[in-house]
Structures are given as C-alpha cells and as structure tokens.
Copies of this chain bind each other. A is one copy, B any other.
Amino acid sequence: MDIHIAPVDLKKAYRLINHGPTVLVSARHEGVVNVMAAAWACALDFSPPKLTVVIDKNTRTRALVEKSGSFVIQIPTVAQALLTHTVGTHSLSEEPDKLEKSGVQLFTMENSDLPLVAGCSAWLACKLIPEPHNQATYDLFIGEVTAAWADTRVYKNGHWDFDNADPCWRSLHYIAGGQFYAIGESIHV
C-alpha cells in the first residue's frame, strides 16, 4: 500500500464526503472493472456509515454493482478533473479501453479485489444494501461503508487539511458542461 494511504476510523468516514464532493464509483465483477463519475452521492448515516449514490440504468458500472454487491466511492482531486470528466462522459460499453484512455490506474487493498482509483484523496469500500424499489424507481443505491482510507497528505487526524495541502488535492464539485468548483477555504463558527 502507498505509504501515504492510511485507514480512516469508520465512525468518522462520513467526513470524507460530508462536504458534497463529486465522486468516482468503481466496481468489479467477473473480471470486468469500470469507473464512473457521480455528482449525486451523499452520506446517509453515521454508524454504521452508509451512503447513497445515483447510478443511471445506462451505465456499465450499474450491473457490476448489482452483480458483485459491492463498490467503491472515492474522492477525486483537482489534479484529476480531466480524468473525472472523462470517465463521467465515456461509456465502457462503447469504448472497451475507456479506463486506459482516461488515465485511470487501479490498485487493490490486501485481501480484497475491489478496484480503487490511484491518486484520489480518499476511498470508501461499500457493501450494497439491496433496495430493489429504490434502484428500479430512482436509480438510487444504498451502500454500507465497510472500510475507508485517505491520503495523509490531505486528510490527517480525522480531518481534511485542504488549507495546508497543495491545492491540487482539493475536492471537485461538479456543476454541468465540464465545469467544476474546487473546495475553498475553511470557515469555523
């Protein structure tokens, strides 16, 4: 494992996505791996940590999630804006070399075959909680976070450190038409 990647206490895993970043969703089933972008991912519970993510019926990733029962939510960085937009606008079904062309490099954690995208700032391994009505009606998927990790260059001691990290580590917040906002300055009340 990259020396900069450290486990995140599951009780604080919600903090990784609490600020509403655009995420990458990855999954693997029977040798097929895909990665897509999702602006519509959100924390759902603290303990055990759960989250929601909207995965359209047209995506190749959806079948991988449904069949494997697991997926990864990871937080891409400003340095990965083009990668994020590319995996969000190209389909593996039409472009079998989508991941290579997008510059995605994958790695795994010990004792797991979940595909993690290198260079992200944090990763949440999720077990699908099947909710057929939500999935069919709203494309809404619920996952329980079973493990989480973050890069210590931007997340340390249970807190994001965007203020002190290089700006290339900031999270992305998608709007539309290839436009993102980076997360900005910290405000304490």
Interface residues of A (CB under 8 A from B): 12, 15, 18-22, 39-45, 50, 52, 54, 78, 81-82, 85, 133-134, 138-140, 142, 159-160, 162, 170, 172-176, 178-189
Contact = CB atoms under 8 A, between A and B. Distances in A.
A187 B176 contact: no
Given A81-B189, A85-B189, A160-B175, A140 B44 contact: yes
This protein's copies in its complex: 2
A187 B142 contact: no
Contact of A18 (B134, B138, B176): B176
Contacts of A173: 18-20, 173, 183
A181 B186 contact: yes
Given A140-B44, A175-B18, A182 B180 contact: no
Contacts of A19: 20, 39, 173-175, 181
A22 B174 CA distance: 15
B138 A50 contact: yes
Contacts of A18: 39-40, 173-176
